Amino acid sequence: MIPKNYNAFVESFTGENPNALWPEALKALWYDGKGDWEKAHSIAQDVPTVLGNWIHAYLHRKEGDEWNAGYWYQRAYREYPAVGLNKEFEELVKAVIKSKRV
């Protein structure tokens, strides 16, 4: 079951793995939230949607690769964010939870 909200998603970090039934986009964010950038990126790069592109952009921004992040933000039809990484992470989680299918 997909978490009801952002706080429920964050509470899931106590587990060893994300819920197997979650969409790949949410799994990618879960791994990022747990500090596993590589696993998050591996999943995100295979999510062929605008929301997947946004997650991919965020991950490259977090990595410090502004050029690559900018490329993926363009593919996600988004401006390079002015908000901090924590805020963007929360926005991403909320967007994925709302979509329930990515």
Q: Where are the domains of the chain?
A: 26-99
What is the rounded distance in angstroms from the CA atom of residue 31 to the CA atom of residue 34? 5
Q: Which CATH number fits domain 26-99: 1.25.40, 1.10.260, 1.10.10, 2.60.40?
A: 1.25.40
Q: Taking the alpha carbons of 51, 56, 62, 64 in that order, is the dihedral positive or negative?
A: negative
Record the pTM: 0.94
| Pairwise pLDDT comparison (94 vs 102), residue with the higher score | 94
Rounded to the nearest 5 degrees, what angle is found at the Cα of 7, between the Cα atoms of 6 and 9? 65
pLDDT reported for residue 1: 84
CB 80 within 8 A of CB 70: yes
| Pairwise pLDDT comparison (27 vs 99), residue with the higher score | 27
Whether residue 99 is predicted with pLDDT greater than 80 in this model: the reply is yes
Per DSSP, the three-state class of 42 is helix
